Chain A
Amino acid sequence: MSDRRSSSDLGSTAEATLSAFPFPERDWESDARAIEARLLNHVRGSTDDLLLAAPLPSEADEPTAASASATPLTNSGVRTQSLAEIARRSLEKKQANERQMARESLALAAQQRQLTVQTDVLRTATGVSAVTPASAAASGGAPGSAAVAAPQPWPKFALALPVLALAAAALFWFRQPAPAPLTVNASAPAAPSAVASSVVAHQRPPATQELPRGVDPNSLPGEAAPASEPASAKVASATAASAPARVATGKPGAKGERATPDAKSVDQSLPPDPTLRPADSRGGELPAKPSSGAVQAALGAVLGGARHCVAGDDAPSSAVVVFGSDGRVQHVTVSGSAAGKSSASCIEAQLSRARVQPFAAANFSVNATVRPE
């Protein structure tokens, strides 16, 4: 800021000369009479509209209107921010952070599920599913990664993998005509083998298991679920999309995990969790009405302009500002000394610029007093 101030400071003498640039006096009264004489022959309405238009082009490197109006500079060149502007930016930043966190959580969960599926496949294929954590630890490896870390089972896995894939494909083939009972009750194995039932069960796990808590798929751009897809269709699509088929973990009562790492396809089957929903403007619940602070800030930002409209008036004017549920001003009713004058439309135009956050009620009205400057 200090750089900004100093870079345009002309020095006190030059500043004084600039601000009080003298000019020769004239006989103003005779000038005025000359103008009045011309007005006698002038026709009202003959002025070209171009003379009433904004006069000058923008500079080449001039900031855009939006950014310039967002944080205006003071007369001394210091950039300022209104409280409403600071609050709005803070809210936007918070929402952006939460969206980013949700996306990262989704990606992380998908990665973890993919890793779990691969580990389970390896464990089953190499016959180490019966290995207890204790024995795995005794052999020097971590319990979860014993099968992966051991060099010996890999050839077995290579041989078993095609067989396993064929078995899974055959199972899908037989199970596809009646998938609903299996998907509804994944914990009750109805298949002749534990492996088969588990594979199908994982194609449609319980809804509450599919997303990390606190993530509302509807709040994430580009990840909204399509409307009401049938359960069978979901299973079919999940089956088609499930490249790494998961096998049983040996616990028939255990809840299923996601069969596919593809977050989008899984997100579509989940209802949002309202209690853990991030503060997103689209997913969050709207307040019944705007807060008094927000209304005061919104009106405070535009009241200065409205006061210009009644400059010179003796008495203050009142205005009823009605906000719509979208946060915009629906209409303004002016009463008092400005009512019925051209300044009333000026006040209406100024106060109509006020904005608050969207709210649930149909509308919300507030009284404002516009005092003359």
Chain B
Amino acid sequence: MSKRTDRELVDAAREGDSEAFGTLMRRHQRRIYRLALHLLRDAAEAEDATQETFVRAYGALDRFDGRSEAFTWIYRIAVNLSLNVIRARKPNRKSVSTDDPRLEGVLVETRAGSANPLGDSENRELGRVLCEGMDALSDTLRTTLILVGVDGLSHAQAGEVLGCPEGTVAWRVHEARKKLKVFLVERGFAPKGEEGAA
């Protein structure tokens, strides 16, 4: 049996096939969790947001009009829920701490390939500065950069998630990267081009 598309799964779930929605959920939960983690910078909140995203998506299945991809529609719900959590936070909350779950991922990665401890340390530091730089961006630029730069969505898909034209997405990504570059340069991570990869 061929793999069912997202649309077919949505159609089936609309007609009461709960297994179809489960399949859809398992297909996208990792990406939704990663998106929420980068937006919220808190593992517990990201987990809650991921759960809530699928529950709300299930509740709104009848309003999915098929004009966009099913996963971009779910992404939009996840972004909205994450932004609601951010707005509800206390304003004096520190965004980046030593136990930032995003950095935890970087640590796990560098431990796995520990042939070059110095390089691992640099990568860790680069990851930390990158996280700080992204946190310094506005919600709009940060979310767009996460969708395109981190999650790998195309401009068209990010435009569907954010409800704006592709050109606007491209402009936001460009602006976000420009600001991020300034942030990195100020902290001693000037781009080295191809040499930086060595």
Contacts of B64 in A (CB 8 A): 342
Contacts of A31 in B (CB 8 A): 29, 33, 47, 50-51
Contact, CB under 8 Å: B69 / A308: yes
Contact, CB under 8 Å: B174 / A73: yes
Contact, CB under 8 Å: A52 / B60: yes
Is residue B167 within 8 Å, beta carbon to beta carbon, of the partner chain? Answer: yes
Contact, CB under 8 Å: B21 / A343: no
Shortest distance between the CB of A15 and any CB in chain B (Å) = 9
Contact, CB under 8 Å: B79 / A55: yes
Q: Which of B58-116 contact A (CB under 8 A)?
A: 58-69, 73, 76-77, 79-81, 83, 101-102, 104-106, 108-109
Shortest distance between the CB of B14 and any CB in chain A (Å) = 9
How many residue pairs at the A-B interface have CB separations less than 8 Å?
253
Contact, CB under 8 Å: A59 / B172: yes
The range of chain A's interface size is 35 or more
Q: What does DSSP make chain B's interface, helix, strand, loop or mixed?
A: helix
Of the listed stretches A41-49, A139-147, A198-206, A259-267, name the one at the interface; the rest are far from the partner chain: A41-49
Is residue A345 within 8 Å, beta carbon to beta carbon, of the partner chain? Answer: yes
Query: Which interface residue of A34, A75, A313, A314 has the most chain B CB atoms within 10 A?
Result: A75
- Within 8 Å by CB of A17, from B43, B77, B123, lies B123
Contact, CB under 8 Å: A38 / B191: no
A55 to B106, CA, bound (A): 29
Is residue B120 within 8 Å, beta carbon to beta carbon, of the partner chain? Answer: no
Query: Which interface residue of B3, B29, B66 has the most chain A CB atoms within 10 A?
Result: B66
Is residue B17 within 8 Å, beta carbon to beta carbon, of the partner chain? Answer: no
Is residue B163 within 8 Å, beta carbon to beta carbon, of the partner chain? Answer: yes
Contacts of A341 in B (CB 8 A): 7-8, 11, 66
Contacts of B174 in A (CB 8 A): 4, 8, 73, 77
Known: A65-B164, A68-B166. 7 other contacts (CB 8 A): A21-B34, A23-B102, A51-B56, A52-B77, A77-B174, A312-B4, A341-B7
Which residues of A are in contact with B by a Cβ distance under 8 Å?
A: 4, 7-14, 16-19, 21-24, 26, 28-29, 31-32, 34-36, 38-39, 42-59, 62-63, 65, 67-75, 77, 304-305, 308-309, 311-314, 341-343, 345-346, 349
Closest 8 CB pairs of A and B: A54-B163, A11-B191, A68-B167, A312-B5, A73-B170, A342-B66, A8-B177, A69-B165
- Can you list 11 residue pairs at the A/B interface with Cβ under 8 Å? A7-B181, A36-B25, A38-B51, A38-B55, A43-B59, A45-B59, A52-B80, A55-B80, A62-B172, A68-B171, A311-B6
